[in-house]
């Protein structure tokens, strides 16, 4: 495939981030990047910020998601947009996986892979 | 929540598009929009193009996805990036749901909702 960028799930590397979390970078180009992040129950995505706009979609599990100090509990199928520059983080309430999509791509994730 | 844009799945309207397909616009802002599209087996997303970059992630089912005349079969967890302006379409091989994420937002989806 020369135009589309295809990523088969089981060919994407799983990177253990420690603390009960792991990341799998999926299909991406400069404009858009899809990333799965798996969490064990109780694992935390510490509050942080970046200039990329982010969408998080709950594939499985349950998450308490915090943006600029306000929290919401999320279940499968729920989604959230984190505006560019907003401080955000999450706590996993039940083991599961988030699909995070970024614009533009998180080039820092690729250089680490 | 004043900074994040949260969308609870069961509060997102389901829009029947006909032909065995339906769309649910999820969380979005100007930069990024998440959309679920459900397909019955045999339903088709006709070949089309738009200036938005798109990521499609298979939530369930199986899809034959075509970008600029080249096809790939996709299963749950597989993902693809459609570059801005590339002609793309899909045929559903087994009933399921795609998560499509666009940058920038598909404002045309919202004006129809």
CA distance linking residue A61 with residue A49, whole number of Å: 23
Residue A24 has pLDDT above 70, yes or no: yes
Using CB atoms within 10 Å of the CB of residue A99, give its burial: 0 to 12 exposed, 13 to 18 middle, 19+ buried.
buried
What phi and psi values does residue A41 have, to the nearest 5 degrees?
Answer: -60, 130
- Judged by a CB distance cut-off of 8 A, whether residue A47 touches chain B is no
CA distance linking residue A54 with residue B27, whole number of Å: 11
Q: By CA distance, what is A86's nearest residue in B?
A: B3
Which CATH fold would you assign to the domain A21-112? Jelly Rolls (2.60.120)
Q: CB-CB: which of B1, B28, B53 is closest to A67? A: B1
pLDDT tens per residue across all 113 residues of chain B: 888 999 999 999 999 999 999 999 999 999 999 999 999 999 999 999 999 999 999 999 999 999 999 999 999 999 999 999 999 999 999 999 999 999 999 999 997 54
Kind of pairing, strands A5-7 and B79-82? antiparallel
Q: Which of helix, strand or coil describes residue A6?
A: strand
Q: Looking at this predicted complex, what is its ipTM?
A: 0.96
Instruction: Give the ranges where chain B is alpha helix by DSSP (H).
Output: 107-112
Using CB atoms and an 8 Å cut-off, which of residues 72-101 of chain A contact chain B? Answer: 72, 74-84, 86, 88, 99, 101
To the question of pTM greater than 0.90 for the whole model, the response is yes
Place of tokens 């509050």: A47
Provide CB contacts within 8 A for A107, sequence distance 6+: none
CA distance linking residue A20 with residue A45, whole number of Å: 10
Q: Which of helix, strand or coil describes residue B98?
A: strand
Residue A113 has pLDDT above 90, yes or no: no
With beta carbons under 8 A apart, name residues in chain B contacting A2: 68, 70
Q: Which CATH architecture has domain B22-112?
A: Sandwich (2.60)
Domain-wise residue ranges, chain A: 21-112
- pLDDT value, residue B112: 56
């Amino acid at each position: 495939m020369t135009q589309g960028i295809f990523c088969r799930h089981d060919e994407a590397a799983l990177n253990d981030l420690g603390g009960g979390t792991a990341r799998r970078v999926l299909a991406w180009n400069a404009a858009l990047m899809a990333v799965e992040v798996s969490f064990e129950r109780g694992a935390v995505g510490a509050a942080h910020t970046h200039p990329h706009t982010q969408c998080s979609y709950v594939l499985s599990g349950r998450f308490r998601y915090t943006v600029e100090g306000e929290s919401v509990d999320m279940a499968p199928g729920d989604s959230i947009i984190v505006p560019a520059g907003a401080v955000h983080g999450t706590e996993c309430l039940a083991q599961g996986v988030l699909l995070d999509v970024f614009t533009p791509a998180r080039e820092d994730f690729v250089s680490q892979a």
